[in-house]
Amino acid sequence: MNGKPELSISKEQAYQYIMTIEAKKMQAQIRMQMAVASNAFPKEAIDSMMEMEKTKAFDELFNEFGVEEIQLGLAGEAFKL
């Protein structure tokens, strides 16, 4: 072993997990845009809130499937996703 984390998910799993993360990020972005449009949320806070939503999505993925963000990154590189 060369100290690099091993790839532990298939291409199909990686694709599904990535699509799940992207869908959650898109849903969060829509909610935030609607809140900004109704003046319930400051536009300046969107970037930090999106980062928080991304972290939340990865936490949920880990809790549900035991997949870590690093595993998805490795799979994305390995499978060119």
pTM: 0.79
CA geometry: angle 62, 56, 12, nearest 5 deg: 45
- Do the domain assignments include residue 2? no
Q: What pLDDT is stored for residue 3 in this prediction?
A: 59
- Residue 4 maps to a domain: no
pLDDT of residue 37: 92
CA distance 67 to 80: 18
Q: Please give the pLDDT value at position 4.
A: 61
In a domain, 31, yes or no: yes
DSSP code of 2? -
Residue 64 placed within a domain: yes
CA–CA gap between residue 19 and residue 68 (Å, rounded): 15
- For residue 38, with 0-12 CB atoms within 10 Å meaning exposed, 13-18 middle and 19 or more buried, which class applies? exposed
Look up tokens 């939340």; give the residue: 56
Domain total for the chain? 1
The whole-angstrom separation of Cα 62 and Cα 31 is: 23
What pLDDT score does 59 carry? Answer: 96
Segment-wise mean pLDDT, segments of 10 residues, the chain, 81 residues: 69 94 93 91 89 94 93 91 84
